[in-house]
Amino acid sequence: MKLICANSYQDMSRKAANLISAQVIMKPNCVLGLATGGTPEGVYKQLIDWYRKGDLDFDQVTSINLDEYVGLGHEHEQSYWYFMQKHFFEHINIRPDHIFVPDGANPDAETVCREYDQIIQRHGGIDLQLLGIGVDGHIGFNEPGAAFELGTHRVRLQQSTIKANQRYFASEADVPVEAYTMGIKTIMQAHKVLLIASGPAKAAIVREALFGPVTPRVPASILQMHPDLTVVLDHEASACLPAEFTA
């Protein structure tokens, strides 16, 4: 594991964006596994900026997103499809037919998940997977207790995740209770994993995930076993790490 401590959210975003840029420059037709949430917004802003300056070209890039709420179609403003368009894709030159997000509008979980795994396989797997981490240690929507050996599947969200995501909806009752998510197996098969975390609310779980036991109770802890994991934390998210890692 390569651990990088940044001194601010902006610095974390720029460092993570640098690593994604390197991937796109080294392999212009790469497959990025992208993530939604508050944490990666700054990464996308930085990448858009470099694209506008002519430093990045996404014409041959494919994006396969981590997850989507069950029941929300593309037009829903809280769907992850919509998030990705608004925060990233509509500002760069990625081709629309190179964009994949699980189809939240389709209630047929078996078909959605099987087809999503086939999409990933057809593209030769994911070159670089960007991940945030939930306060309960989830990655994608793999909540505590999720089996490590699953591909894309439907999950029921934990109450803590619903509460954390409520900020984007009118009320807690409006937050979907189910999602389609890439499984831990899919995530672990990515050639490179880039985990980012920001803010004091993530400090304890970051320590547990990276330095605690590897257990389905903390889904992100499996990343300790990934052969090419880079973690970029801002100052606050790194606050609970053992001292030798923050110096």
Active-site residue identified among 68, 87, 127, 138? 138
CB 31 within 8 A of CB 127: yes
- Sheet with 67-69, strands from edge to edge, namely 67-69, 178-181, 153-156
Residue of the chain from 31, 47, 126, 133 that contacts ligand PGA (CB under 6 A) = 133
What's the rounded Cα separation, in Å, for the pair 82 and 89? 10
Q: How many residues bind ligand PGA (CB under 6 A)?
A: 6
Rounded least distance, CB 220 to ligand PGA, Å: 9
Least Å distance, CB 66 to ligand PGA, is 8
Q: Is 191 annotated in the active site?
A: no
Could you say whether residue 176 binds ligand PGA (CB under 6 A)?
no
Q: HEC profile for 12-33?
A: HHHHHHHHHHHHHHHCCCCEEE
Q: Which of residues 27-56 bind ligand PGA (CB under 6 A)?
A: 37-39
Known catalytic residue: 136?
yes
User: 181 forms bridges with which residues in the sheet?
Assistant: 67, 153
Alpha carbon distance 113, 143 (integer Å): 17
- Does residue 137 touch ligand PGA according to CB under 6 A? no
Binding site for ligand PGA (CB under 6 A): 37-39, 132-134
Catalytic residues: 67, 136, 138, 143
